[in-house]
């Protein structure tokens, strides 16, 4: 019976089928890399797997809810007392901030400049963390249906976390500032010195390349966003310098910083609208995505001056 089946089997040989499959795969990858023809396929697949991401995130959320329910009354009382003290301190600081904001508004009015009240934000929840040790990315549960766009700044309650690199209808991928492919224009809050903070691939370390050895940089200096590039709003905390060393084989100093955002602990993030993304015609979704990518600086390798091209 096997010999008869083999005699009448008209299918191509396995090697030919494998060759066709490999050529087809290479053709699809080339077409997608050059012209982005398959972006709609990725968006469709992202919508299809969204329930899986949602279900995968449920156990951790249920575990946190159960842990909160099992917290003892004494722990709750102690936590409540600490929160009351923190709330009182924050109210005192808020009064100073309001006074400074009012003074800043008056000064801007004197200079004939318009005062921006604040940036629009949206709270998103983390669905997945990339387990690849060479990538620092997270997946959040807000997408283009909520107005999210590629290049959008992302913060947590403490500082800058990263920016959106992939926006699908229901989810978005956020590249963290510690990723090796990310660079962020910053300045030292103490003296206004501008530089670039690049990721190292480690969740607790940033590097400040191309700083001369005589630069006024000290351990403990706070780095804030400089606003250069038009992606991140100016004045948001980024990191604190933890190491300033001298490399005898390089004309630049070795400067490392630790992010102030809780990159490995935050469960919710803030998506910030500093500028509105470029809008396109209703039936040109591909052109709209290209316009958004053109409106936001791309993540390329730093040039000789440390800026992103």
CATH number at residue 210: 2.40.10.350
Bridge partners, 112 (sequence order): none
How much is the pLDDT for 293? 41
78 and 34, same structural domain? Answer: no
Within-domain flag for 235: yes
Into how many domains does the chain fold?
Answer: 3
Cα separation of 166 and 296, whole Å? 12
Last residue of a domain, one of 229, 259, 289: 259
Q: What is the pLDDT, as a whole number, of residue 176?
A: 94
Number of H helices, E strands in the chain: 5, 12
Contacts 24+ apart (CB under 8 A), 91-96: none
Parent domain of 99: 71-117
**Judgement on whether residues 190 and 252 belong to the same structural domain of the protein:** yes
> Is 243 a member of any domain?
yes
Q: 250 and 190: one domain?
A: yes
C-alpha span between 189 and 222 (Å, rounded) = 6
DSSP string covering 45-96: HHHHHHHHHHHHHHHHHHHHHHHHHT--HHHHHHHHHHHHHHHHHHHHHHHH
What's the half-sphere exposure (Cβ side, CA atoms, 13 Å) at 44? 4
pLDDT at residue 30, rounded to an integer = 77
Question: Is 291 within a domain?
Answer: no
**Is 25 domain-assigned?**
yes
Q: Note whether 45 and 92 are same-domain residues.
A: no
Q: Looking at the structure, do residues 78 and 18 belong to the same domain, yes or no?
A: no
Pair of tokens at residue 215: 């630069």
Cα separation, 242 vs 248, in Å, equals 20
| Spatial distance between the Cα atoms of 117 and 98, rounded to a whole number of angstroms | 12
**Is 251 inside a domain boundary?**
yes
Q: 201 burial class (0-12, 13-18, 19+ CB within 10 angstroms)?
A: middle
Among 13, 28, 55, the domain-final residue is 55
Token pair of 60, please? 């951790």
Both 252 and 206 in a single domain?
yes
Position 20 in a domain: yes
Name 232's Cβ contacts closer than 8 Å, sequence gap at least 6: 153, 160, 163, 184, 185, 225, 274
Residue 288 pLDDT: 41
CA distance 284 to 295: 16
With beta carbons less than 8 A apart as the criterion, state whether 201 and 179 touch: yes
Across the chain, which has 309 residues, the per-10-residue mean pLDDT values are 55 81 82 70 81 85 79 78 84 71 66 50 86 84 93 87 93 93 92 92 91 91 88 88 90 92 85 61 42 41 37
Going by their DSSP bridges, the two strands 206-207 and 253-259 should be labelled as: antiparallel
Q: Is 244 domain-assigned?
A: yes
Total Cβ atoms within 10 A of residue 154: 25
CB atoms near residue 119 (< 10 Å): 14
Residue 97: strand, helix, or coil = helix
Whether 171 maps to a domain, the answer reads: no
The answer to whether 295 and 208 have CB atoms below 8 angstroms apart is no
pLDDT for 47: 84
Task: Say if residue 73 is exposed, middle or buried (CB neighbours under 10 Å; 0-12, 13-18, 19+).
Answer: exposed
């Amino acid at each position: 019976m096997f010999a008869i089946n083999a005699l009448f089997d008209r299918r191509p040989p396995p090697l030919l089928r494998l060759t066709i499959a490999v050529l087809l795969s290479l053709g699809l990858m080339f077409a997608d890399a050059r012209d982005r023809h398959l972006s709609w396929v990725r968006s469709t697949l992202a919508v299809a797997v969204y329930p899986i991401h949602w279900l995968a995130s449920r156990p951790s959320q249920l575990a946190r809810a159960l842990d909160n329910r099992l917290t003892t009354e004494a722990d709750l009382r102690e936590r409540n007392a600490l929160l009351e003290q923190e709330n009182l301190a924050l109210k005192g600081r808020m009064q100073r901030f309001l006074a400074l904001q009012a003074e800043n508004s008056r000064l801007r009015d004197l200079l004939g400049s318009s005062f921006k009240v604040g940036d629009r934000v949206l709270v998103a929840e983390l669905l997945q963390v990339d387990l690849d040790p060479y990538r620092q990315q997270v997946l959040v549960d807000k997408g283009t249906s909520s107005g999210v766009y590629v290049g959008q700044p992302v913060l947590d309650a403490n500082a800058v976390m990263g920016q959106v690199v992939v926006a699908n209808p229901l989810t978005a991928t956020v590249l963290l500032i510690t990723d090796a492919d990310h660079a962020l224009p910053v300045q030292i809050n103490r003296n206004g010195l501008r530089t670039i903070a690049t990721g190292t691939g480690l969740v607790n370390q940033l590097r400040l390349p191309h700083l001369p050895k005589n630069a006024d940089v000290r351990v403990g200096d706070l780095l804030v966003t400089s606003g250069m590039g038009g992606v991140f709003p100016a004045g948001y905390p980024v990191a604190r310098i933890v190491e300033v060393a001298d490399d005898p084989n390089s004309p630049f100093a070795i400067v490392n910083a630790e992010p102030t955002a809780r990159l490995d602990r935050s469960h919710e993030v803030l998506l910030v609208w500093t500028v509105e993304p470029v809008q396109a015609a209703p039936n040109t979704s591909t052109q709209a995505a290209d316009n958004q990518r053109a409106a936001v600086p791309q993540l390329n390798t730093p040039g000789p001056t440390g800026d992103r091209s």
